[in-house]
Structure 1
């Protein structure tokens, strides 16, 4: 590649990879050697050391290429819209739902609901009533206040009604389906055989409200299936068709809204915090709703929202100190959208440190991803990856300035996270974090080489790299060390048990991402995604390729469901839920919002206002 050396201005010099090939330096001249290193490091073609510039221009040992024969570096642009959330807007967010007044009210409402659970569990006569109460508490997002109480209730329900086949005979379709869904969701072993004797029954169902609720719960239950559970696969197909045909005939507004909501996306795939806000509004309109439960849900939502606001403001202050929005303007400025991912990951108030840490990780990923994806030359990216692999701060001298800013910023941030863990727990986790970042950047580099060489990977080649480049393995590595629900030793000892969970979560996230973002990325000439690789390899149409990717997502969820079913410890259960939540957020961000992290940020803004900024009124 030819070099450029802009003689028109004494303060303009070329990119490092170009100058190196065309400037010949007397190696014995130490001053010129040091000077050349500084010249190499300037990607923006600006040199601030005037004395150094004069030595370069006047040195008899430099040969300058004729600028008339040189082509400048052309860098790609993703044309990302600017952030909708400037620093001042974020810092102005505030909530009144803090302090002793609201905390005391919350405790009072919790006591009332706990008594309600206790009474239901004591009499245990109305199975449907207790299952509906547990379901409501979970969908309203307040279950975590009653985790032990709910566990006791479900133990009783499981042992009395669902543990063995001889106990199923007294249950109708709705109780079988609702119980199956809730028990599997909460980690109980329950087999699909509970539905074996109702296959004929569901084929003759009418369209009464009772029938619709039973079919709706069976539909929702089917998404908790494992691989090769054919009864549940058939149930999913049949109930989908049944509910679609029933929509126009359902007289109850609440049941109708539940049905259309489920057909848009099943409950098992939904982001918990988004579902909570939607369900509070739906529950309020339900005939026979419990005002105490509703008031607790509303107050808890607003109080947790106040915690989220402080987390976001903390992340915003950190983001401002990096100056990346100004210095690395080619990359996405998405601190708020990044924070939304962390709410989806773990919304409960006790996970403040996790959300604050992951917001930084997400922001760094955006910067590094856009460096590889749209801005860096292949030569620069090769060097950048090498520096990351070495994790040597002194090696950045050979990088252009924008990469120095990028590397030094995230190097300091990751080291700081490791330092905090070391001082808080005595565990040195930096080698694990460093390895995860190295793996991610190596995957980015493979994709960059594909782009620059116009290589079309096979579908398998693509997925093998893409499951790393989607960054879920990296995020879950950070996640596992910051959850604070176990010792670092348990995390390290559990790594073999969670590797499949990480893989399935990563692939769900990648495929959902590709379905939502590939049209924009293809338009700017990006590396082919899953849809394009499958089309090229099989000759499928785009419609057929997209259908294939969607079918893969269902199968991956089934694999993930099975892996999570065997988790026993608190840490592993929490980790499994976080892993599933990445897939849920990806389907929300890239299917519901189309591309809510890149271009369609106005759609994301509405959810930010709903979940983070605006409290529920009348509380």
Structure 2
């Protein structure tokens, strides 16, 4: 979908109900806040937090969720410890929220041989929770690798023996686990799933729908008001790079979704604008290094970026001059705004975009196929293993005290989650922009609201 078509679609969107919906959300939030702070048991609270976070409204209750998890983290509960689903869910929710939950939680489910007990093989709900929890493992936690293999093997055996709705959840997990999924896309999918669940609290579901639409409306207003992302797109087009450099990918929609995965809250529109520009600049540089430039030209280009000086343009071939000036002007503008507003000098960091772009010249799968003389399937499995180990390192760092604020860690995880969604079925970024999957995601996240007349 091109930007023009997107704007035309949004020009017919009516936001007159936004105010009334916002008022209703306040009422619903008070109801949910009461549920979080009542006297119900730990398992009820953990399941509630799981629903809220998967429905995309966890950010509305960060303080209350932290209070509840602090208590669960410090306490013990027999109801949880004797149930595989409850134990695995508690483990995942704690680690997902920055608590260093121990794998010893699973000790009661291990037999005398050190394996998961055979009696668990028909506990479908517990197996699915265990499978999802296994993706929150740290480096060296082989028990969680065993948990993943055990759960996946027996879930496959249960296929055809469970109800359709639960089988859909299993297939969803096998495609990508919760921990690897983009938050807003997962929220949209989970809202649909919860509508099929007769035990779901309709008030919570109503809140999730209204909040989803309110966030979506904030993105739509940005487009309609000619600010972000329209202003960004106008900036990109006015550079003239797409016309002058036909070898570069025009990936406006894809860059937009990457930005939305890093920071989706409505108050961070400027951050998404900057991230979009950064992503498109990285794409420009990547295509220059990886597709078009000769070695000699790229050496000159790299030197010019290192010098970060307009006089360096004289040494560049004609087609590189526009790219270099676009990067230089963008970096200097961003540096000025950041220094003025935040007091930080980020110009040296902008120059690092060049290093990022140059880092992927030999594609990892192709490189390993050549080095190890193996098939593409084996190479993909090997690279997948490296990615999974990197996730384990991220999981460990996420629960470790460090100098970076939690918002920065969340942004890093969000970026990795978007990458998983893009590349789960191949190179979703490199394919042509008419890709139906990307268009479907844009329609879901930005264009089409969730019907609420039946809540």
TM-score between both structures, scaled by the size of structure 1: 0.67
Q: Tell me how far apart the structure 1 counterparts of residues 172 and 58 of structure 2 sit (CA, whole Å).
A: 21
Q: Show CA shifts across 1:302-329 (max 9, x none).
A: 2212223323223222212212221222
Deviations 1:88-132 (Å, cap 9, x if unpaired)? Answer: 224334274646x5244334334333333324432133x332211
1:244 aligns with 2:160: no
Q: Which residue of 2 aligns with 1:148?
A: 63
Question: How far apart are the structure 2 equivalents of 1:169 and 1:259?
Answer: 22
Match of 1:555 in 2: 389
Q: Pick from 30, 34, 42: which aligns with 1:114?
A: 30
Q: CA–CA distance in 2 between the matches of 1:222 and 1:320? A: 45
Q: Which residue of 2 aligns with 1:613?
A: 447
Post-superposition offset of 1:265: 1.2
The CA distance in 2 between the partners of 1:153 and 1:356, in whole Å, is 35
Partner of 2:225: none
Q: Could you tell me which residue of structure 1 aligns to residue 253 of structure 2?
A: 336
CA distance in 2, matches of 1:535, 1:375: 24
Q: Which residue of 2 aligns with 1:102?
A: 18
**Alignment-derived partner of residue 190 in structure 1:** 101
> Out of 72, 95, 119, which is 1:157 matched to?
72
Tell me: CA distance 1:227–1:595, structure 2 relative to 1, closer, same or farther (3 Å). Answer: same
**Residue 430 (str. 1) matches residue 347 (str. 2):** yes
Which of 278, 281, 288 does residue 192 from structure 2 map onto? 281
Structure 2 residue 451 is the aligned partner of structure 1 residue 597: no
SS, match of residue 249 in structure 1: coil
* 612 and 421 in structure 1: CA distance in 2 versus 1, 3 angstrom threshold: same
Compared with structure 1, are the counterparts of its residues 567 and 415 closer, same or farther at alpha carbon in structure 2 (3 Å cutoff)?
Answer: same
CA distance in 1, matches of 2:241, 2:215: 30
Greater relative contact order (Cα 8 A, min sep 6): structure 1 or 2?
2
2:400 to 555, 561, 566: 566
1: CA distance, partners of 2:120 / 2:47: 22
Other-structure match for 2:120: 205
Shift of 1:550: 1.5
Q: 1:597 to 1:119 in 2, by over 3 A?
A: closer
1:226 paired to 2:138 = yes
Question: What residue in structure 1 maps to residue 47 of structure 2?
Answer: 132
Q: Deviations over 1:26-65 (max 9, x none)?
A: xxxxxxxxxxxxxxxxxxxxxxxxxxxxxxxxxxxxxxxx
Matching residue of 2:212: 301
Residue of structure 1 aligned with 2:302, choices 358, 380, 385? 385
Counterpart contact for 2:260–2:272, Cα < 8 Å: yes
1:360-399 counterparts in 2 under 5 A? 360-399=277-316
Which secondary structure state, in structure 2, belongs to the residue aligned with residue 194 of structure 1?
Answer: helix
1:581 aligned to 414, 418, 435, which one? 414
- Equivalent position to 2:180, from 264, 269, 273: 269
- Where do residues 388-537 of structure 1 align in structure 2 (5 Å cutoff)? 388-434=305-351, 436-440=352-356, 444=358, 469-470=359-360, 528-537=362-371
Deviation at 1:177, TM superposition (A): 0.8
**Alpha-carbon offset, residue 572 of structure 1:** 2.9
Q: Deviations over 1:490-510 (max 9, x none)?
A: xxxxxxxxxxxxxxxxxxxxx
Note the alpha carbon deviations across 1:360-410, whole angstroms, 9 max, x for none: 011111112111222222222221111111001122022222211111112
Alignment coverage as a number of residue pairs: 440
Q: What is the TM-score of this pair, normalised by structure 2?
A: 0.90
Please say if residues 364 and 410 of structure 1, whose CA atoms lie closer than 8 Å, have aligned partners that are also in contact.
yes
What is the CA distance between 1:347 and its match in structure 2?
A: 1.5
Return closer, same or farther for 1:276/1:119 CA change in 2, 3 Å cut-off: closer
Whether contact under 8 Å (2:216, 2:445) holds in the other structure is: yes
Q: How far apart are residue 545 of structure 1 and its match?
A: 1.9
Question: Contact (CA 8 Å) 1:118, 1:149: kept in 2 or not?
Answer: no
Report the equivalent of 1:55. none
Residue in structure 2 matching 1:357, options 267, 270, 274: 274
Offset of residue 342 of structure 1:
0.7
Unaligned runs of 5+ in 1: 1-83, 445-468, 471-526
Matched, 1:316 2:233: yes
Bigger CA radius of gyration: 1
Task: Using the TM superposition, give the Cα deviation of residue 294 of structure 1 relative to its aligned residue in structure 2, in angstroms.
Answer: 1.4
CA distance in 1, matches of 2:408, 2:282: 21
Q: How far apart, CA to CA, are the structure 1 residues paired with 2:234 and 2:117? A: 56
Residue 223 of structure 1 aligns to a residue whose secondary structure is helix
Aligned equivalents of 1:170, 1:228: Cα separation in 2: 23
What is the Cα deviation at residue 582 of structure 1? Answer: 2.2
Over 3 Å counting, the alpha-carbon distance change for 1:382 and 1:182 in structure 2 is: same
Q: Distance in 1 between matches of 2:5 and 2:275?
A: 21
Q: Secondary structure at the match of 2:75?
A: helix
1:312, 1:336 within 8 Å by CA — same for their partners in 2?
no
Deviations 1:423-470 (A, max 9, x none): 212322222323x135336xx2xxxxxxxxxxxxxxxxxxxxxxxx25
Q: Distance between the aligned counterparts of 1:206 and 1:191, measured in 2? A: 23
| Residue segments in structure 2 that go unaligned for 5+ positions in a row | 223-227
| Other-structure match for 2:170 | 259
1:143 CA displacement = 0.9
